[in-house]
Chains A and B, each alone.
Chain A
């Protein structure tokens, strides 16, 4: 696209990153082996180091970090010190940096950083503008900040020439993340943060989430390659964002349909083969894999067997370790279902049919289901105080679905020869 107004004839690049979450621990993953522990522990810091290297290698004019770079003192001091060291490296190379704080971030979070290097601006509170110049000529103006009832009003395109970049942390679906509203502010590029998955919302003007540089769990947004966006301005044209992966640890979820798999050995062999393919595709990184087994078939009964999943997971991990590759199977999730048709079971008029009918009644009556769950889950809630065991309606419905399937499996003696 062609940027608005008078733009420098100079060509330059800048890097857009967001949601560094430096040293925030991984979530919802199991224990990793000792040989991979350090890589997983330091993954977010290594990804940030890679971001700095990227900016220097591409001779970027500036770097923007769109919020959630650091999650507070609970994540320790390393993150603050590592961030400052990286910013010093950037400044030493003449690269400016702008950190836009999210609405829930405060400058006081950076307790271990008494001052930022020259050339680094931290934008929080109201929206402010930061000019970026080279050889006395305005390359770009960065607008960023947070707070206020309507922060977007603070983003105003100035008469100054050059590229105008809005830096904002606004989670997708939030009140600020509205493409039309963003586009109306006259920016040439919106460097957004708040989504851990990379996505481009608009090409005119460019509005993009860079995503996090390092995934930290097996939620959908955390999976696959993670990194930063490199933007190139060539004369009057802003080129499409270029994604550059920076993650050192990559998380992948492998779904396997067991419907046509004859036995556990074949299932294991298939998963090992897919892990090898993933390793080749994502070479050079530590891979954390989670398998989700789906479908119906005779293997469902095999998987119901006590410790069947544990044995399978142990075999997968053993295979990866024997190969000496930085691959770790985190877990195997069993989402398989019995081959029996629930509709047919429901027609039988027997106890199973009665159970299916009850399950349907509960699914249609959340209050009744909630009451049953509250009574049943009381011992666990006593053991795990707080809101850790709070379940919303959807989670409760999913539990009911799994519980119904388990009850049917047990009553239908799927695992008895």
Chain B
């Protein structure tokens, strides 16, 4: 069991996401930073979509009642075991009852704590990802609280053999005030040339009203010239322009449908960078790219990450 000593502002269990229920209005959920989540899992020898702890916006502390293998990943956090500093982005063997503490020490919003065997809470609608806005199973929909105990899956591998594997975090190029690549959204052509120019030249600040549903941006209002739309599909990464002209970038808990025009969509490769953009620094700027370039960048990013972990050939086969 992994027990919560103190949760962060928002700590939840997240696996790769809930698939197959969007037609019923159930969002995908899953990690805000899919790359750090993947890295943490691969470092401890888990499959990439295994359930791990997502620690949001502040530090947190846990302990395990059994010896375990963990890895913590995410920009702007430091890891401690009792009073000893430990490396992030590294598989570490932790003895039972030691305090595992994540502490904020720089720009970044979300950290992942993966444990070998995975967090083994009962799946709900086929996934362990927690959606805090509505109870999808028997348990109440809420973030983790002090004293919560989470079952951990049994070890599939001798833990000490995996300890010490590490990833160079330069494999994921986080930035405190990034340029975020987007492709045009379905309603892009209904925005005027001036509106699109404003969208691509502005530097948008991230509003504190942002959350796992969407990041609200503030900057020059982007006017929409088209007519009213009927609700249509929406996805993580979609950039909606509501009537006040302030963009909302949909995140992991994005509703499945929406009725505001979408001027652009953040590419998959840059979604983790955007998710980790600090709220009180330079903000973001958008740059347009093609879907071909976007998909190629994501494949290259995953290959670089997987390659940077030093996996055994046998492990590579199941990726």
| A, B in one complex | no
Name A residues whose Cβ lies closer than 8 Å to a Cβ of B: none
Name B residues whose Cβ lies closer than 8 Å to a Cβ of A: none
